[in-house]
Amino acid sequence: MAGSRAAIRYAKAILALAQEQNAGEAVAKDMDGIVKTVAGSKELRVVLNSPIVKQELKKAALQDIFKNGHSITEEFINILIDNKRVKLLGDVAAQYGILYDASQGKEKAVVTTAVPLTDVLRDKVLQKVKDLTGNQVTIENKIDESIIGGFILRVGDLQYNASIANQLNTLKRTFSQN
């Protein structure tokens, strides 16, 4: 993520303000909507990233799209536009979601596997991650056939790679060094 440091700083500031005004959950819903809208609309991403589109046009479009949001969310969008950082909108919204969940004792674990997780395996992974983190955890399963087998578990900024592809690459590096 280009600008992820800036996105985290904006997200922290918004979270602090939202919690101060007891609006954390309402703003979290807005931010979730922003993430989904930006991710789901290629046209919106093009407009946000375009240096040709005037700031006033971007502001009008975003105010129209997110007109039913909390006042903190609306002000956040205006600040990004005024600071010419509107292309960070989706990143800031995503970071806010992560920070808000962490403040609520919730985490999201991403498990990448070559095939979909079964319900039994999903429950085992969920319980193990809960035991390790002590937080409420939700599991997202991503499918990536290139890992061949095994899994890659990412919780927050920690990652455990137990994929066959990783083991083969490690073996390849070992052989090439000898």
Residue 20 tokens, joined: 């101060």
pLDDT digits (tens, 9 = 90+) for 97-149: 989 988 998 888 899 999 999 999 899 888 888 888 888 888 999 999 999 99
pLDDT digits (tens, 9 = 90+) for 142-153: 999 999 999 999
What is the pLDDT averaged over residues 24-28?
95
User: What's the burial of 175, exposed, middle or buried (CB within 10 Å: 0-12/13-18/19+)?
Assistant: exposed
pLDDT digits (tens, 9 = 90+) for 52-101: 999 999 999 999 999 889 999 999 999 999 999 999 999 999 999 989 98
How far apart are alpha carbons 143 and 161 in whole angstroms? Answer: 14
pLDDT of the residue at 102 = 87
DSSP state of 84: T
How far apart are alpha carbons 9 and 17 in whole angstroms? Answer: 12
Q: Which domains does the chain have, with CATH numbers?
A: 4-102 (1.10.520.20), 106-177 (3.40.30)
Mean pLDDT computed over every residue of the chain: 91
